[in-house]
Amino acid sequence: MKIAILSGGVGGAKLLLGASLAFEGAEITAIVNTGDDFRHLGLHVSPDVDTALYTLSGKANRAQGWGREGESWAFMTAVRSLGGEDWFNLGDGDLALHVLRSARLAGGEPLSAIIADFAQRWGIGPRVLPMSDDTVATIVETDEGVLEFQRYFVARRCDPRALAIRFEGAAAARPAPGTVEAIAAADVILIAPSNPLLSIDPILAVPGLRAALQAAGAPRIAVSPLIGGQAVKGPTAKLMAELGLPVNNQAIADHYAGLIDGLLVDEADARDALPIASHAVPTLMTDDASKAAVARAAVAFASRIDRR
Amino acid sequence: MKIAILSGGVGGAKLLLGASLAFEGAEITAIVNTGDDFRHLGLHVSPDVDTALYTLSGKANRAQGWGREGESWAFMTAVRSLGGEDWFNLGDGDLALHVLRSARLAGGEPLSAIIADFAQRWGIGPRVLPMSDDTVATIVETDEGVLEFQRYFVARRCDPRALAIRFEGAAAARPAPGTVEAIAAADVILIAPSNPLLSIDPILAVPGLRAALQAAGAPRIAVSPLIGGQAVKGPTAKLMAELGLPVNNQAIADHYAGLIDGLLVDEADARDALPIASHAVPTLMTDDASKAAVARAAVAFASRIDRR
């Protein structure tokens, strides 16, 4: 079985891990948002890709939701002592990904090749592909001005009121090698329960990826990021409300209209009237078992979808 | 009193610290070798400058001779797990200097301004100046081929037989702002007991610095790196022999001919017949007291030199 999964950061990585646990022999391809990527202290940081790498290699800090388990912070302490920018935390071990990636990018290697090598070094089963090797930058227009994603998300903790979100460079960005092929060859296509506006939309803003999803023959299932009408984590609900979307699964289904064939919702939202096929299961992913269960439910739901 | 000190890494930093302890009110300017500088994993590393910064701010690992006291190594462990180059150790805290310096250099700031800011942040009294803001690269021609300095020094542990040493870029390099002025204004000029061939010669290879030293009105004293006809540390003796120089203070004096007025030697070498004024004291610098004593002896010796 071939499974393609569009994924943002933490929530997406949980579904990736769940799928890899639930379907051991499957060919799983993660197509990961790079709209959050940015240069910080001269280093290329890829937060969502790295969360996927850490999660799938068993290195993730599960309590924190980002970075490495058992991380140390001598670098940040020294940066602070030198008056360097310290609003974005870079752990000592985490730095290796950023330093090596930056050096290899400067040497002309594409991001996708570098990530593939990292994943192979860490013995990661699923293919982890960035959505594009081209630069796409998620920009949030807010009532406090235009903010780059990490400035909005980390430095300002999503506090400013969002007025619009755009993805600079997306229109000209080419899908990374293997992404379109993975979507076309997939038996099941999943959209992870990541933030639709911040984490999935950048992927869909790459024209070739949107087209590939539209043209795909396999059933396409989104896992809703909402549970009981609330976002599990992060600014999804706040952002939907600010951008005039009702915070419910109808809005999620509308948002993905034409791109999905079904929406997997939480059992707390089983009664939502939706304009699309839906199925309700417990979608909160806490441990390995619940992650695998959600992946299994999404794939089972997909197998019941008739796309003819 | 104004003291200008030409310095390499460890031995030089000891004399710098000694001078700062011995002459509290003095204006001390260190002019530090950057021929060892190189780019590693995309980062600009300045080993001798950093040794000066760590030593003068009390952060140096005294036992090891380089890097920071209490350093951790999570970065290197992660680099190794990703197949990155690991022949040159970069500590977690140490990385802050390299990352911040690299980012600021890429932003167009000169090295000297960045180092001045670092020194100020760390409350360092002496001025720490790189010899030049231009790139000068120490290259060692060996019986195993041409090696960049760190490849020779760290990766190959000075094992190949040296045939010649050259300083790429030196002829066109301009002295860093303040260096020529510090030499011209100095009441005493010291050459630290660093490796003459690897650590002091790159400084002297910058035409403006050599000319400034030649034109200086103040007494110029070199502290010999030899004790009892042996180098205290590092490859000085091996290198002198390989390059056809006798390993003695006569050769050191000849090497600095026209650039110094006196050579401070160790008491074990007091009987050496030298073609230049000399004075013998214990020159082994182990603790703060012995470092200050050597600095004091060098300055006192200088005050007895009549340059008319």
How far is it, in rounded angstroms, from Cα A226 to Cα A245?
A: 13
Token representation of residue B260: 């110094």
Residue B220 lies in a domain: yes
Amino acid identity at A171: A
Give B92 to chain A, closest Cα distance, Å.
5
A169 has pLDDT over 80: yes
Q: What angle do CA B97, B99, B102 make, to 5 degrees?
A: 100
AA letter at B290: S
Residue A77 touches chain B, beta carbons under 8 Å: yes
Nearest to A75 among B96, B103, B117 (CB): B96
Is there a domain that residue B268 lies in? yes
Find, in chain B, the residue whose alpha carbon is nearest to that of A57.
B81
Closest CA to A8 of A55, A61, A75, A59: A55
DSSP calls for chain B: -EEEEEE-SHHHHHHHHHHHHH-TTSEEEEEE--TT-EEETTEEE-HHHHHHHHHHTT-B-TTTSSSBTT---HHHHHHHHTT---SS---TTHHHHHHHHHHHHHTT--HHHHHHHHHHHTT--SEEEESBSS--EEEEEETTEEEEHHIIIIISTT-SPEEEEEEETGGGPPBPTTHHHHHHH-SEEEE-SS-IIIIIHHHHTSHHHHHHHHH--S-EEEEPSEETTEESSTTHHHHHHHTT--SSHHHHHHHTTTT-SEEEEEGGGTT---SSEEEEE-----SHHHHHHHHHHHHHHHHT----
Between CA B13 and CA B17 the distance in angstroms is 6
Q: Is B58 on the interface with A (CB under 8 A)?
A: no
User: Which A-chain residues 113-132 have CB contacts (< 8 A) with chain B?
Assistant: 117-118, 121-122
Taking only the tens place, the pLDDT of each residue in A72-131 is 999 999 999 999 999 999 999 999 999 999 999 999 999 999 999 999 999 999 999 999
- Examine residue A130 and state whether it is found in any structural domain, yes or no: yes
Statement: residue A62 has pLDDT above 90: no
Tens of pLDDT, residues B6-51? 999 889 999 999 999 999 999 999 999 999 999 999 999 999 999 9
A65: pLDDT strictly greater than 80: no
CATH number for the domain spanning A141: value is: 3.40.50.10680
Q: How far is CA B48 from the centre of its chain?
A: 6
The pLDDT value recorded for residue A71 is: 96
Contact B42 A94 (CB under 8 A): no
Chain A hits for B41, Cβ within 8 Å: 99-100, 103
Cα–Cα distance measured from residue B219 to residue A168, given in angstroms and rounded to the nearest whole number: 62
Cβ under 8 Å to B: A residues 231-290:
none
Residue-range definition of the domain harbouring residue B145: 2-39+48-59+125-303
> Is the CB of residue B10 less than 8 Å from the CB of residue B291?
no
Q: Which residues in chain B have Cβ-Cβ distances shorter than 8 Å to A120?
A: none
Structural domain total, chain B: 1
Say whether B78 and A97 touch across the interface (CB within 8 A).
yes
**Model confidence over A285-297: pLDDT tens digits?**
999 999 999 999 9
Average pLDDT of span B59-82: 92
Using the beta-carbon criterion (under 8 Å), do B92 and A74 form an inter-chain contact? yes
Residue B157: both structure tokens together: 């542990």
Q: Is the pLDDT of residue A277 over 60?
A: yes
- CB atoms under 10 Å from CB of B222, counted, come to 29
pLDDT of residue A308: 58
B75 in any annotated domain: no
A81 contact residues in B (CB cutoff 8 A)? 96, 121-122
Alpha-carbon distance B134 to nearest alpha carbon in chain A (angstroms): 21
Range A240-253 average pLDDT: 94
Residue B73 maps to a domain: no
Q: Is residue B294 included in any domain, yes or no? A: yes
* Residues in chain B closer than 8 A to A83 (CB atoms): 117, 121
Q: Is residue B193 part of a domain?
A: yes
Residue pair A143/A163 in contact by the 8 Å Cβ criterion:
yes
Task: Kindly report the pTM of this predicted structure.
Answer: 0.94
- Say if B183 falls within a structural domain: yes
Q: How confident is the model at residue B299 (pLDDT cuts 50, 70, 90)?
A: very high
Least confident range of A79-88, B62-71, B269-278: B62-71
A102, B83 Cβ separation under 8 angstroms: no
